[in-house]
Amino acid sequence: MTQSTTPANRMLEGNIKKTLMDMTIPMIFGMIMLMTFGLVDTFFVSLLGTQELAAISFTFPVTFTVISLNIGLGIGTSAVIGRLLGANEHVKARLVATTALMTVVFLVGILSIVGINTIDPIFTLLGASPELLVHITDYMSVWYVAGIFLALPMVGNSVLRAAGDTKTPSLIMAAGGAINVALDPLLIFGYGPMPGLGIQGAAIATAIAWGVGVIWIIVLLIKRELMTPRLLTMSEFTQNVQGIFKIGLPAAGANMLTPMAAGVVTAIVAGYGDAAVAAWGVGGRLESIACIVLLALSMTLPPLISQNMGANNIARVNAAYKLAITFVLGFQLLVFGLMYLTSDYIAQVFAKEANVATLIALFLMIVPLGYGVQGVVVLTNSAFNALHQPMAALTLNTLRLFLFFVPFCYLGSIWYGLIGLFSGAVLANFVMAGISFFWFRRQIHTLTDSSTIGD
């Protein structure tokens, strides 16, 4: 297996703006298609009625918990493999890749088994009514199985990115999104002799799309000699899993806190009825699309930071971080303006009932104002992981969600209802952005001083 020196030279010496742009643009297109999984599902399910829409909205915190585990393990995998490839240790890099794939299948498999057997108590705790539990069970009983199919492509794509390839992962994500779009209406509503499966059809469509991704990524990794094409021995597995867990478990923990906090807030929203839950769920799916550039940048910034940190180029690390957050603040402000102006139209697309549409529009006129400052927190978390400081990222996310986001939403709902809840989410992001920025700035000063002393 060979590795071109061009990407490394670009990371260490090239124009930072151009390098980030070249790496991020392919990720944006791929992630747009990936995010359409949830958005397309939400759109077609909304045509079934408010109960079905509320049901799928309840599933988001739980499904994102599984996805967050995949993301965290992918972060750890990418960090370890990237360092090994840079050191020309290709055999060990292949073993680490196989270890990561085996690990994520095992962990997600356990989560899925537990999840299938706890659907009723978990979603009852989140505030779902008995009527909604019927629809939730139909959807989640299939989705939990499909979650295993999702795990392999997500971690496999992290291996490809660590090897310097951001275009192929984007292509795999795009293909999965396209398959889901094609199958959703067919399986949800039926066609000809094929009966409509309702909300369960959306989960089956997702499972098929991810299944295709599994075959694609495994074949590709073997062909490119980026993984060992066999099950590892216990000795090989234990030797290689530690490095992944060192970064991956804190990163997974940080990501899994997000759906947990979302679950708490969803339970608060449930107190305002099914229409409010439906609107909150639609808003969450739209947020994924609205923040797509931010999410892509959070995946392409870390490799640049990691390599320059390894080269002891702290000034370049700082410059890349500042450029990224400056761009995100400006870009997300434009996104907010667009969503504010089109809020009524968007709401009518995703809701048949007038009361649901009104609440969706209210969400879009308030919550997106905080997406830019939320981006500062997300990029700071990514930067800390890139510096191999995952506990700092975990601490930041814990503070954001449980010291600010949940309490601010709760207090806002008590004082001003749903408007207060939405505003509380925005205020929490503003406060945490300031904390994140100054924390990272302090860390940069520490690293600079250490580098100077070392010289």
pLDDT of residue 416: 92
pLDDT confidence of residue 173: 79
Residue 150 lies in a domain: yes
Residue 205 domain-assigned (yes or no): yes
Q: Does residue 455 form part of some domain?
A: no
**Count of structural domains, the chain:** 1
What residues make up the domain containing 107?
Answer: 6-450
pLDDT tens string 384-439: 887 878 888 889 989 999 999 999 999 999 999 999 999 999 999 999 999 999 99
Write out pLDDT tens, residues 120-150: 898 888 788 888 888 889 889 999 888 888 8
pLDDT values of the chain reduced to their tens digit, one per residue, 455 residues: 444 444 555 666 778 888 788 878 877 876 776 666 666 777 888 788 878 888 877 887 788 777 777 777 787 787 777 667 666 677 888 888 888 888 888 888 898 899 899 988 988 887 888 888 888 898 899 998 888 888 888 888 888 877 767 778 878 877 887 888 888 888 888 887 778 788 888 889 888 988 998 999 999 999 988 888 888 888 888 888 887 888 777 877 777 787 778 888 888 988 888 888 888 888 887 887 888 888 888 888 887 787 677 667 888 889 999 999 999 999 999 999 999 999 999 888 887 788 888 999 999 999 999 999 999 999 999 888 878 788 888 899 899 999 999 999 999 999 999 999 999 999 999 999 999 999 999 988 888 766 555 54
Is there a domain that residue 201 lies in?
A: yes
Structure-token pair, residue 226: 């980026």
pLDDT score of 177: 79
1 occurs within a structural domain: no
Residue 362, in any domain of the structure: yes
Predicted TM-score (pTM) of the model is 0.74
Q: Is residue 311 part of a domain?
A: yes
- The answer as to whether 141 is a domain residue is yes
